[in-house]
Structure 1
Amino acid sequence: MQKLSLVLITKNAADQLGPCLDSAQALVDEIIVVDSGSSDDTLALAERYGARVTRQDFLGFGPQKRLAVSLASHDWVLCLDADERLTPELAGAIRSALAQPSHGAYRIARRNRFFGRYLRHGEGYPDWNIRLFDRRQANWTEHAVHEHVLCPKGAGELRGDLLHDSAERLASYLEKQNRYTDIQAHALFQQGRRVGPGKLLGAPLARFLRFYLLKRGWQDGAAGFAHIAIGSFFAFVKYAKLMEHWRQHDERKP
């Protein structure tokens, strides 16, 4: 089997990190953790699992993950978030793939937990992500948020689910989405993107219709509705913040 490095970025993840590492430890040959200033027991916990820990001020999600990948000793890397864990089926599929790789990267179906249940439809599942890859053939983009792995030669797919089990309160989930839209709006402003009222209203509506109706989010009941409604609302917030950036910019012009 190919040598495998488990790679994570963390900040104040002590409540979640243990189950994540437990689910993957038997698969991997080393654990790499890049931490951006934890004040809880994250670092001590990582070191108890034998992780190599590097401290780095947060660079944005894409750059931070690229740094973590570069620190791995092995070319094959498994990139997880602290609130994720492998199912036994997925762990077995990873082991089989690494015994004789047929692709340079592999997509994994992530199952998101929200309002106390794992979603099965909408944008909650299957939330396909490339997480297992040969860094000589694939790597994270430089995006500060909504980063993803690019593999020019294409990716295979693995059986089993990656459970996303943040178990966070609604208040903290909303705070996180608010931070993400700050980053997104700033990035769009730096790119010179502008939006009008049509985009401001149309993007949230299109998102809701896509995930709630076409992707059958309604089958997840109240949890599915809330997950998609919140995502649609923050699509509106992102573009509203972008419009505010331009308003402030234009007001500063002489």
Structure 2
Amino acid sequence: MTERLPLSAVLITLNCAGPLRATLESLSFCDEIVAVDSGSTDGTLELLAEFGVRVVSEAWRGFGPQKQFAIEQATHDWVLCVDSDEIVSADLRASILQALQQPGFHCYQFPRCNRFLGRYLKHGEGYPDLSLRLFDRRQARWSDDVVHEKVITLGNVGRLSGDLLHHSEDTIESYLAKQNRYTTLAAQALRAEGQTVSAFKLLGSPFFRFIKFYLLRAGFRDGVPGLIHILIGCFNSFAKYAKMIELTRR
């Protein structure tokens, strides 16, 4: 077998025992797994121990800062960043192993396939959802955003085949609760940047989001789950800007 560069899998955890086992099983090909935990009490720590994960405890800093702290704890410079509800597919695993034999890029992105209401979404807003998650940490870093964080790099970026499988929350209720938290954080971040909201943006953002993802990018081909997914996404756009207006008028 051709030698490859060593790889650290990195994730952040907080009370995520439910989907975590499948995630850890999919990372068995990595040379180490590092988890930064911010106070789990639901069995997450026991599950991490079962898989031999190296755990670092750290108070919550926000998504971007927490993930940056996490990659700094890794032993190896090449890191694969996943969330606790994401699974590396067999095809993606093969692509990663091949890329690390002789990397032609500093960073790699690949499609993320979102599972919603029991169905993997293959169109619209849910796919391909390209995510930059494999990189040389000397050439890239996570942004400081507390929500909607992203990897910032000045290096060159390649693309791998194979999907990162994202298992969304099990119920509509829990999914909406998570989206409610995210829209609040997004509104606070935009307000801190000094941005303002017009009536056109409040109403137009959800409308054009629906046109773009449901019609132009064929979200309708994902059936009822695709329709519900985009409608929640459109409401998220409305809620984010409505919360900004509320913050402005307080």
Aligned residues: CA RMSD: 0.9
**Taking structure 1 as the reference length, what is the TM-score of the superposition?**
0.95
Which of 33, 36, 39 is matched with 2:38 structurally?
Answer: 36
Paired-residue identity, %:
51
Which of 6, 10, 21 is matched with 1:7 structurally?
Answer: 10
Q: How does 1:168-179 map to 2 (within 5 A)?
A: 168-179=170-181
CA contact (8 A) 2:27 2:33 kept: no
Which of 235, 241, 244 is matched with 2:243 structurally?
Answer: 241
**Taking structure 2 as the reference length, what is the TM-score of the superposition?**
0.97
1:81 corresponding residue in structure 2: 83
Task: Point out where structure 2 has 5 or more consecutive residues left out of the alignment.
Answer: none
1:138 corresponding residue in structure 2: 140
* Distance across 2 between alignment mates of 1:15 and 1:199: 38
Task: Point out where structure 1 has 5 or more consecutive residues left out of the alignment.
Answer: 249-254
CA contact (8 A) 2:117 2:170 kept: no
2:34 partner letter = I
* Distance across 2 between alignment mates of 1:186 and 1:57: 20
Aligned residues: 247
1:186 corresponding residue in structure 2: 188
1:75-102 alpha-carbon deviations (Å, 9 max, x no partner): 0000001111111111010000000000
Report the 3-state secondary structure (helix = DSSP H, G, I; strand = E; otherwise coil) of the residue aligned with 1:136.
coil
CA contact (8 A) 1:116 1:167 kept: no
Q: Which runs of 4+ in 1 moved over 4 A?
A: none
Report the 3-state secondary structure (helix = DSSP H, G, I; strand = E; otherwise coil) of the residue aligned with 2:174.
helix
1:252 corresponding residue in structure 2: none
1:87-133 alpha-carbon deviations (Å, 9 max, x no partner): 11110100000000000010010000011100010011111000100
1:228 CA drift (Å): 0.6
1:143-163 alpha-carbon deviations (Å, 9 max, x no partner): 111111122223101111111
Which of 24, 28, 31 is matched with 2:27 structurally?
Answer: 24
